[in-house]
Amino acid sequence: MTSRSRPISSLSLPAALLSQLTRDGYETVDDLARDRPELLSQAQASQSHSRRAPLGPPSLRASHLPSSRAVSSLISASQLQSTGCTPLDKILDGGLPPGRILEISGPPGSCKERLVLSLVRQCVKDDAGVMFVDCQNMIPPELIKRTLEDATSPLPTHLISYAKIHDAVDLDIYLRNISQRIVSCSFTPKVLVIASISFLFQPFLASNVPQSSRNAFFDRIRQALIKVSAAHNLSIITTSQLSVRLLNADGTTGNFASAVTSTMSPQIGMNYLPAGKAYRVIIVPQSTSIGKLRLLSSPRGPSLSQDKASRIEEDYRLAGMGVV
């Protein structure tokens, strides 16, 4: 076992912090090296202290920890999967890393489906296999085939595995049995797409569903996504609807009587995503053909403020069947 493949439990970090990191989807030292190098420095400092102390359990040698200076080189450009959309690639610092999750949310009628089709087309162009799960029949196999055939150079469809999912329980079963599906594929998948995932979760968002039941189910999906991305090193892309959130003057959630403003946010929230592995991007249309792609949060840090000064965003426009 290499030092970076060691579990994070081998690091000298507080138990509460280790527990939180595990819930966020961090499993190995390599995960922290990519996204949270400051925690490795903290573990290194703790190790130096323990060497000076007369008593205390042994921990990971400091020399085994990757330095913060080397973190940026741990994922080479060749490992990043381009999304086929230049503005989105810029937000992701070149593309989607293996083992990471990208949620794309947008209002009805936005370019979510176009972005997904651009990604599929780019993957096939790069000889990267795609497991495609459609949750709302928004992107049927015929549309994927037509998209590949309409490319400048027609592309084959043999690198795509397509599945139609009817409800959230089916999705849970699909994710937990994905190893068998991968074995049965005639190709090695690199990307898993779950289109319109928010459609499946609608029953769990109803007001008559206990919060405890809702959280328990979202936790099952989150744990399944963690295992799928880690066990098979798959990049995962989900698409979701945006919904309007009414806000009171103090920033708390309001209603039509008390709210003074509103904002758009992903409909199903963050609970189903492992924070340590997920990028969240929203589509902000400005007309029928142009708009902005905005980063809400990433594995590199907490959710970003919606204050204009701290926004990370890129302009996009529709061109042909793609988004540029």
Predicted local distance difference test score (pLDDT) of residue 63: 37
- Cα angle at 272 between 267 and 275, to 5 degrees? 105
* Residues β-bridged to residue 100: none
* Cα separation, 121 vs 126, whole angstroms: 9
Q: Which two tokens stand for residue 41?
A: 């420095």
Burial class (CB in 10 A: 0-12, 13-18, 19+), 104: buried
DSSP state letter for 66: P
101 contact partners, CB below 8 Å, separation of at least 6: 225, 229, 235, 236, 237, 238, 273, 274, 277, 278, 279
* Number of neighbours of residue 24 by Cβ within 10 angstroms: 19
Measured CA angle at 260 (ends 255, 263), to 5 deg: 80
Instruction: Supply the pLDDT for residue 40.
Output: 62
Measure the CA–CA gap between 265 and 250, rounded to whole angstroms.
Answer: 18
Domains annotated for the chain, with CATH where assigned, are: 3-71 (no CATH), 77-323 (3.40.50.300)
Digit-coded pLDDT (tens) for 113-138: 999 999 999 999 999 999 999 999 89
Gyration radius from the chain CA atoms: 21
Residue stretches of the chain with pLDDT short of 70: 1-5, 23-25, 31-78, 151, 262, 300-310
Q: What is the three-class DSSP state of 45?
A: helix
Q: Nearest-5° angle of CA 302, CA 265, CA 200?
A: 105
Per cent of the chain over pLDDT 90 is: 45
Nearest-angstrom CA–CA distance, 28 and 129: 26
Tokens of 259: 């709210």
How far apart are the C-alpha atoms of 261 and 254, rounded to whole Å? 9
- pLDDT for residue 56: 37
Instruction: Give the number of other Cβ atoms within 10 Å of residue 279's Cβ.
Output: 23
The amino acid at 190: K
